[in-house]
């Protein structure tokens, strides 16, 4: 019995075989009837067997009843013992010991009770004497089996609770990570924009006011009430345009962005803020990495069950090797993995002096 | 007049520095540069006393640009990133202005500069050891005459120490950079490079063979045919990283 040390994966295979039983045991409605039910079946089986041996109906019934009660008593004790007390590796002997004691005691109780009750039935007493080892032989394996089952069920229940807790914790950390990944794109962009406003206030107050509004709109978008909700591509693109407007104030007319989005794909939905980091990445390598005019293209189309998005920017192969894929891409890849459990949704690479990022978003409808 | 250069890739940000600086008539802005390349050339040309320097810029960062200068001027960093403050301090920056900054804070930085200028002029040449803070980086920026070359670390075959300089050997050629082996060693990925000798750091990818040389010393053969001496400690280090 290496339940404790075996990894969850190993347990899984066993789990399926025991799941049915486990469900019966852990289901409060069904589980309640398992012990009395077994007792009744046991009673009936013994009764019919004893009748076949030619015992008197009354005696057979009494014998079976007591034997059945002994079994039920044993089951209750075993169930309680192994549900609440899980033996450690070093005292696993209890799995054998407890049923052994219980079945011995059960057979003895049965023997003395019935021989006391039927003092005069000499033939039956002889039969009782003869069959006591047989009864022991029946009771012991069954109680052993029950002890094992009770132990397994208790373990599985514990396992189930553990994995439930683990799943909850995983979900929590996933949510936290997603939230963090969404927010990570902010600080330097925010502070640089504020600095631009600071500069504009003195020289072009009207433009400063405009930028304050743009920045507010953009920030409102990042702290939407329901960050888990999917938004339409159109919404995301509007948001993107807001972001680009701000960047354009910061970098003047060096930045040119082209959108090529099929109309039919504009209503398609996608997780929020997935494209923005890609464009931010394109800007980082295109605009921050190069001097002169920079043209960034954003294309979107529907292909079978995917929304295909492509962001491309020119880059300087010499200086861009510096940061490789950069944080923006890896954070998007991580988010895609957390959302869809797949790693093949984001592709990136250089094509000549163009850097292209391809994003696939599965559409479930 | 105090000769000044502003280096920032955002015209508005550079404009703000210029505007704030207009309150101090003793400063003269000679040039406003939008990236580190331009900045380096302007510094060499004008020999300014003070430079306002952004960190994140096209091509090379402000720190990388400073590394290339033989006699860096006084620097006031202007950046939105606060994580460079420590590094700026190590680079003996005059001050570190976090964007957005106020006019009062700007004045403070200027006062600090003027104060130190009175105390110790001309500016002492900075210690290269302190000037370069070891930071994991996957590229090296070197100066080739008046141009700048960016070398991805992965393309380096080996480094060789030469006095205050390090020769960077790549398949395309060799480059000289003013830095110490210690700083260089700390900035490299220990899984990819190993210091096998007091004067040599090699790219583990390029090793084609190791053979005994003299007593207690070995030779490493590289893909390019070079033979690099390996010291006793270098050999044990090499065995460790290669898992021999």
CA-CA distance, A319 to A328, in Å (whole number)? 17
List every span in chain A annotated with CATH 3.30.565.10: 184-362
Chain B CB contacts of A199 below 8 Å: 12-13, 15-16, 19
Q: Which residues of A touch B13 (CB under 8 A)?
A: 192, 195-196, 199, 250
| B150 closest CA partner among A283, A324, A317, A350 | A317
Residues of A in contact with B100 (CB under 8 A): 191, 194-195, 197-198
Q: Domain B2-123 carries which CATH code?
A: 3.40.50.2300
CA-to-CA dists, residue B128 to A5, A167, B132, B145, B146, angstroms: 55, 52, 6, 20, 21
- With CA atoms as reference, the chain B residue closest to A318 would be B150
Which segment, A135-144, A215-224, A347-356, B200-209, is predicted with the most confidence on average?
Answer: B200-209
Instruction: List the beta bridge partners of residue B201.
Output: B159, B195
Q: Distance between CA atoms of A328 and A305, rounded to whole angstroms?
A: 25
CATH level 3 topology of A184-362: Heat Shock Protein 90 (3.30.565)
Residue A142 and residue A306 in contact, taking contact as beta carbons nearer than 8 Å: no
Q: Are residues A195 and B150, on separate chains, in Cβ contact within 8 Å?
A: no
Asked if B16 and A199 come within 8 Å (Cβ–Cβ), the reply is yes
Domain boundaries, chain B: 2-123, 151-242
pTM score: 0.62
> What ipTM is given for this predicted complex?
0.72
CA B194 – CA B188 distance, rounded (Å): 9
**Residue B124 to chain A, least CA–CA distance (Å):** 32
Q: Which residue of A has its CA nearest to B153?
A: A322
Asked if pLDDT for residue B112 goes beyond 50, the answer is yes
Spell out which residues of chain A touch residue B189, defining contact as CB-CB under 8 Å.
none
Which residue in chain B has the smallest CA separation from A290? B58
The pLDDT tens digits of the residues spanning A127-183 come to: 888 888 888 888 888 888 888 887 787 778 888 888 888 888 888 777 777 766 666
Residue with tokens 């050891």: B129
| Highest mean pLDDT pick, A31-35, A223-227, A339-343 | A339-343
For chain A, the helix, strand and coil percentages under 3-state DSSP, each to the nearest 5: 70, 15, 20
Residue B20 pLDDT class (50, 70, 90 cuts): very high
* A237 to chain B, closest Cα gap in Å: 25
Handedness of CA B192, B196, B199, B205 (dihedral sign): negative
Q: Does domain B151-242 have CATH number 2.40.50.1020?
A: yes
pLDDT of residue A171: 80
Give φ, ψ of A257 to 5 degrees.
Answer: -120, 130
Where would I find the beta strands (DSSP E) of A133-250? Answer: 230-232
Strand partners, B222: B207
């Amino acid at each position: 019995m290496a339940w404790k040390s075996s990894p969850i994966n190993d347990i899984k295979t066993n789990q399926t075989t025991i799941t049915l039983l486990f469900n019966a045991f852990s289901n409060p409605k069904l589980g309640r009837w398992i012990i009395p039910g077994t007792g009744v079946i046991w009673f009936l089986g013994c009764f019919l067997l004893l009748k076949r041996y030619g015992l008197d109906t009354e005696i057979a019934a009494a014998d079976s009843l007591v034997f059945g009660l002994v079994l039920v008593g044993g089951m209750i004790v075993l169930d309680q013992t192994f549900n609440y007390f899980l033996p450690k590796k070093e005292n696993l002997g209890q799995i054998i010991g407890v049923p052994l004691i219980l079945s011995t005691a059960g057979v003895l109780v049965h023997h003395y009770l019935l021989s006391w009750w039927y003092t005069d039935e000499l033939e039956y007493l002889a039969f009782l004497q003869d069959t006591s080892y047989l009864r022991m032989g029946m009771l012991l394996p069954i109680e052993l089996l029950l002890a094992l089952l009770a132990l397994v069920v208790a373990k599985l229940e514990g396992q189930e609770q553990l994995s439930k807790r683990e799943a909850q914790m995983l979900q929590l950390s996933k949510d936290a990570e997603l939230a963090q990944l969404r927010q990570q794109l902010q600080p330097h962009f925010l502070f640089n924009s504020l600095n631009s406003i600071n500069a504009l206030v003195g020289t072009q107050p009207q433009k400063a006011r405009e930028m304050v509004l743009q920045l507010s709109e953009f920030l409102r978008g990042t702290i939407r009430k329901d960050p888990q909700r999917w938004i339409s591509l159109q919404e995301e693109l509007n948001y993107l345009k807001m972001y680009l407007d701000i960047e354009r104030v910061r970098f003047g007319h060096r930045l040119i962005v082209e959108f090529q989005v099929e109309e039919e794909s504009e209503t398609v939905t996608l997780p929020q803020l997935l494209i923005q980091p890609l464009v931010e990445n394109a800007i980082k390598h295109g605009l921050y990495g190069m001097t002169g005019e920079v043209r960034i293209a954003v294309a979107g189309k529907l292909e079978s069950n995917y929304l295909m998005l492509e962001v491309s920017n020119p880059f300087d192969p010499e200086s861009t090797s510096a940061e490789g894929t950069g944080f923006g891409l890896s954070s998007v890849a991580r988010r895609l993995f957390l959302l869809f459990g797949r790693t093949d949704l984001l592709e990136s690479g250089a094509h000549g002096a163009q850097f292209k990022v391809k994003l696939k978003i599965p559409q479930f409808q | 007049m105090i000769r000044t250069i502003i280096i920032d890739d955002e015209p508005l940000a550079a404009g703000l520095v210029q505007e704030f600086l207009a309150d101090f008539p003793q400063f003269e802005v000679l040039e406003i540069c939008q990236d580190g390349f331009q900045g380096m050339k302007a510094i060499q040309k004008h020999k300014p006393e003070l430079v306002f320097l952004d960190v994140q810029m096209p091509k090379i960062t402000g720190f990388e640009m400073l590394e290339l200068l033989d006699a860096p001027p006084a620097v006031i960093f202007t950046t939105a990133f606060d994580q460079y403050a420590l590094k700026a301090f190590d680079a003996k920056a005059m001050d570190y202005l976090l964007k957005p900054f106020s006019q009062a804070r700007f004045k403070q930085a200027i006062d600090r500069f003027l104060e130190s200028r009175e105390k110790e002029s001309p500016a002492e040449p900075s210690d290269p050891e302190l000037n370069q803070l070891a930071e994991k980086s996957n590229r090296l920026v070197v100066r080739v005459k008046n141009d700048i070359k960016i070398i991805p670390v992965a393309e380096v075959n080996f480094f060789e120490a030469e006095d205050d300089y390090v020769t960077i050997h790549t398949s395309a050629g060799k480059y000289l950079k003013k830095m110490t082996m210690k700083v260089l060693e700390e900035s490299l990925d220990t899984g990819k490079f190993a210091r096998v000798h007091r004067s040599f750091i090699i790219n583990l990818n390029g090793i084609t063979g190791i053979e005994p040389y003299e007593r207690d010393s070995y030779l490493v053969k590289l893909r390019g045919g070079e033979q690099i001496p390996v010291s006793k400690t270098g050999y044990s280090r090499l065995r460790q990283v290669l898992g021999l």
